[in-house]
Chains A and B, each alone.
Chain A
Amino acid sequence: MSRISHNGQLFFSFFKSLVGKEIIVELKSDLCIKGTLHSVDQYLNIKLKDISVVDSEKFPHMISVQNCFIRGSVVRYVQLPSAEVDIQLLQDSARVEARELKKK
């Protein structure tokens, strides 16, 4: 995921628009963390707060976790709140970014 940011800032901007929303982050280690997106940076490192659901069987220590920092490169999937995603805007942005990439 972090490599994508080298090609453009679209995903970064997109995730920034989801700050304050509830998302589920699935790590490459199979750990799923549900929480409120607190912040995201250019490497798509994700900070979550008010964490509620984690795989407590595999990672018992995560039960008592409230805030966490996730390295962008270990994120496998991010589940988004569908009501919060403006698909039309995302498509338009993808077009603009692709056009800019072609110019380079």
Chain B
Amino acid sequence: MPLGKILPTEITVTSEEKSLTTLSNGEEIYFRQPGRVRLIFGTGKDEGTGQFYLTNQRAVWIADATEGEKAGWHIDFYHITCHAVAKANSFDGQTQDCIYCQLDNEEEDYYEMRVIPTEGTATTLSTLYKAFCDVAEMNPDPEEEGEGDFIFNEEEVNGNIQRMLRQIYTECLTGELRHQLRKDNLTMKRLEGTKMKTKKQTLKEETNCRESTIRGGQVAE
């Protein structure tokens, strides 16, 4: 799925049937949060309570109350860019500690997601946070095909520049720079050599000149 599309995806009754039964190939349930879990998108789009699962590939929430065909939400884990333990705060009346997530989503309403266990203690939340971390580590970014051939957007440009700069930096440090330094050193030595030679020659010439002057003087005397 390309990035920046509307995420997460709605689960319909037909596909999930009120419990997590449909798993894709190689997918398995990694963690199930005991008790009811409230899900809130953005700044207050409360989806109500439901069951919350982490599979080794995605986060899945299945609503207690179905509304038409809507049965919940799921999101592939690599779209969760950042997750955190957020304490209860006064902002929009959040009275319970939760897992706060940021999603790589252009859709503003679905940019943030809060997963709020309604039962349990602080330990409950740190266990859930750890499970989030584990699954995030299992799901690195998918390799982008044709990378380096085309530049698509600002991020790509920045990425490319960073890579290039780093390459230039390392190359400078190793190959080119050392080569240049060696060249410079040789030139310096050669220059020094020339200088010394010139000085010697000059000295010699001066001496010769002086000698001949002396000799000349002697002759003249």
Q: Which residues of A contact B (CB under 8 A)?
A: 1-4, 27-29, 31, 41, 43, 45, 47, 51, 59-74, 76, 91, 94-95, 97-99
B91: chain A residues at CB < 8 Å are 60-61, 63-64
* CB closest chain-A residue, reference B102: A29
Q: Pick from A4, A27, A67, A74: contact of B85, CB below 8 A.
A: A67
Shortest Cβ distance from B178 into A: residue: A95
User: Is residue B173 within 8 Å, beta carbon to beta carbon, of the partner chain?
Assistant: yes
Give the A-B contact count at a CB cut-off of 8 A.
Answer: 101
Cβ of B106 to closest chain A Cβ, rounded Å: 11
Closest Cβ of chain A to B214, distance in Å, is 59
Binds A, one of B27-35, B61-69, B128-136, B187-195: B128-136
Task: Enumerate chain B interface residues (CB-CB to A < 8 A).
Answer: 43, 78, 80-89, 91-92, 94, 100, 102, 104, 112, 114, 129, 132-133, 136-137, 140-141, 147, 155, 158-159, 162-163, 166, 169-171, 173-175
* Cβ of A31 to closest chain B Cβ, rounded Å: 7
Check B83–A2 contact: CB distance below 8 A.
Answer: no
Given contacts A45-B136, A69-B133, A76-B158, contact A95 B86 (CB under 8 A): no
Cβ–Cβ < 8 Å partners of B132 in chain A: 69
Give A60 to B92 CA distance when docked, in angstroms: 10
Are A94 and B173 in contact, CB atoms less than 8 angstroms apart? Answer: yes
Q: Given contacts A45-B137, A61-B91, are A70 and B82 in contact (CB under 8 A)?
A: yes
**A62 near B84: Cβ-Cβ < 8 Å:** yes
- Max chain B Cβ within 10 angstroms of own Cβ: one of A1, A51, A61, A74: A61
* Distance in angstroms between the alpha carbons of A62 and B94 in the assembled complex: 12
What residue of chain A has the Cβ atom nearest to residue B91's Cβ? A60
CA gap between A51 and B85 in the complex, in Å: 11
A1, A43, A62, A64 pick with most chain B CB within 10 angstroms: A64
Asked if A65 contacts B84 (CB within 8 A), the reply is yes
